[in-house]
Chain A
Amino acid sequence: MISVSFWKKHEHELSNSELLKKIEGLPSEERLRAEDRLHIVLHRQKHTLASRLELFLMMLGPGILVMVADNDAGGVITYAQTGSIFGIGFFIPFMILMLPVAYFVQEMTVRLGAVTHRGHAEMIWKRYGGFWGSFSLADLVAANFLTFITEFIGITVGMSIFGVPPIISAIVFVASVISIQLFLRYFTWERVSLLIAAFNLIFIPLLLFLPNPDWSLVSQSFVSWRINGPIGSLFIYVLLANLGTTIAPWMLFFQQSSVVDKGLTTHDIRRGQIDTLIGSAVMVTVAICIIILTGMTVYGSDKDGTVGVARILQIFASKVGVFPMELFAVGLVEAGLIAAIAISASTSWAVSEAFGWKGSINLPARDKKSLKFYLPSFGALIIAAGITLIPNVPLGYLNLTVQVIATIFMPAAMLFLLLLLNDREIMGNHANRKWQNVVGFGIIGFLIVMNALYGISIALPAVFAHLASSL
C-alpha cells in the first residue's frame, strides 16, 4: 500500500493516475524507492521557493553523510593526535588541500551510481571478475571491521567522561546502530543519520572556548607550511593517517550504493555533486577546527609526545575547562555513532551486491531478506565492540594503524574507480574527461609515493633518517 502521508501530500497530482497501481504492485523495498523518486520528480516540476528548498533538502544525503561519517571517532582522534603532536602548522593547509581531493574522488561515485544503478562492489565483480571482486570485498570488510573498532574506542572513551562504563556504552551503541539500520526505511534512515551528523559541527563553536588563541599561527601556517617536528617516520605515519581519514575505500562503496538505494538517476547528478561539495566543506572545516583545538592547547604539554585520546582530553580539560572537554567528548561519541551507521550500511550493501542478494535499507525488518542483508555488518559490529572491551589493547596506536591501512588500500580502490569512470560503454557521456583522469591518476601516484615512504621508514629506518635529514 502507498503510505498515507505520501498519498495526502500528492493526492491532487496523483488522482486518476495509473502510476499508483503500478507502484503498489512492486516489492516493498522497490515500492518505497519508487515513492521517494516520485517525491523528487514532483518537486522538480514545482517552482515555488518552498518547493525548491524542499527539493534541495531532499537531495542532501549521501554526500554529506559520507563526508561527515569520514570525520568518524577514528578521524576525530587522528586530528586530535595530529594537533597534539605537530601543533599548528603543516596540517592546516594540508587539510584545505584535502577538500578538492575528497570532493573529486567522491563525485565520481555519484556519477557511477546514477548511471549504472549498481553498487561499487557489484561493478568491480561483474566488470573485472571474481578475483578483483573478492579482493575488493575482503579489503573493504576487513578495513570496515577495523574501523568499527576505532568507532567503539571513541564512543567508550567519550562516554567514560560522563561516567558511563565501557560495557554499557558498547551495548547501548550496538543496539542503537542495529535499530536504526533495521527499522527505518531509506529516506527516514537518511534523515535520522543527517540529524546525528549535524552534531559533528559541535567542534566549530568549541574554538570560542580557547583561552587567548593566537590566530596568527593559523594564518602563518598557510604561508610557511611549517612542520613542527622532525620529518621522520612519525610524520609520515601521521600524514598517512590524515590521508586515510579523508579518503578511504569504504567511502566509495558507501556513497555509490547510497546513491543507488536512494534511486538517483542521471537527472540528479548535479544535485548529488552539490551534496558532495557541501559534505567535503563540512568535513574539512571540522577537521581543521579539531587540529586547532588540540594544537593550541595540548601541543607541547606532554614531553613523551601525546598520542592517547584519554590523555589528550585530560590536558584539553586542564587548559580549556571541563565543559568544553565534555562537548568534545559528545562530538567524539557522535562521530563514532554516525560512522558506525554508515560503515555498517556500506558493509551490508557491498556483501549483498557481491553475492547477488537483494539488499536495501528499505527492506522491512520482518522480511527474511533483511536478516541476510544485515548479518555481516551486525556480526562485525558486535565483535568489534567486544574487542574494545579487552583490557590493555593499544587503542591509540591501533587507531592510527587503521587509518594507515585505509591509505594503503586506497590506490587499488581508486584504480578500479578510474577504470570504471573511463568505461565509455557503461558511462557514455558521463565518463571522465581528460583533466579528471590527470587529477585521478595524480592522486593515486601521490598515495603510492606516500605509502612507499612509509614502507622505507619501516623496512630501512636508517635510509629514511638519512633521506629526511637531507630535506
Chain B
Amino acid sequence: MSKNKVERKQERKQDYSQLPDFSHFIIEEEIEDYKKVTVNKVAFSKRVKLAFWFLRIYIAIMIILVIVGFAHV
C-alpha cells in the first residue's frame, strides 16, 4: 500500500468528535443551510426553440389521436 493511501486511510479513521465543532462539515454538508442553487429563466437557443415547436406539434397530434382512440371504444 503506498504511503498516500495509508495516510488517507488514517485520516478517514479520525474520530469525528475530535474535529472542531463540525464547523467545516456544517458548511460542506449543508446541514444547517440546505441551499438551493440560483435558477433564472434561460434564453432559448435556436435549437431549443425548434425542439419546443416540435414538442408543441407532437403534443397536439397525440392529444387528437388519443381522443380518436377513445371515440373508437
Contacts and interface: CB of A to CB of B under 8 A. Distances in A.
A265 B33 CA distance: 12
Interface residues of A, number: 54
A405 B66 contact: yes
A23 B32 contact: yes
B48 to A, nearest CB: 7
Contacts of A116: 36-37, 39
A433 to B, nearest CB: 19
Nearest to B38: A426
Contact of B41 (A129, A448, A454): A129
A17 B22 contact: yes
Interface of B is mostly: helix
Contacts, number: 104
Nearest to A398: B73
Contact of B39 (A16, A426, A448): A426
Interface string B1-15: 000000000001111
Interface string B42-73: 10000010011001001101100110111011
A132 B34 contact: no
B42 A22 contact: no
A239 B61 CA distance: 20
B16 A42 contact: yes
A191 interface: no
A394 B22 CA distance: 60
B10 to A, nearest CB: 11
A4 interface: no
B40 A117 contact: no
Nearest to A416: B55
A261 to B, nearest CB: 10
Contact of B16 (A18, A45, A115, A128): A45
A17 B32 CA distance: 13
Nearest to B30: A265
B68 A426 contact: no
28 contacts: A13-B16, A16-B21, A18-B23, A19-B21, A19-B22, A22-B26, A23-B32, A30-B34, A34-B31, A37-B30, A41-B25, A45-B15, A45-B16, A115-B37, A116-B39, A118-B39, A126-B40, A126-B41, A127-B41, A128-B41, A265-B29, A394-B73, A401-B70, A411-B55, A412-B58, A412-B59, A415-B51, A448-B58
Interface of A: 12-13, 16-19, 22-23, 26, 30, 33-34, 37-38, 41-42, 45-47, 115-118, 122-123, 126-129, 132, 135, 263, 265, 267, 394, 397, 401, 404-405, 408-409, 411-412, 415, 419, 423, 425-426, 448, 451, 454-455, 458-459
Given A19-B31, A118-B36, A425-B42, 10 more contacts: A19-B26, A30-B34, A37-B34, A117-B30, A117-B37, A126-B41, A127-B40, A128-B42, A263-B34, A265-B29
Q: Which 10 A-B pairs have the closest CB atoms?
A: A45-B16, A126-B39, A455-B65, A117-B36, A408-B62, A13-B17, A116-B37, A458-B69, A41-B29, A37-B31
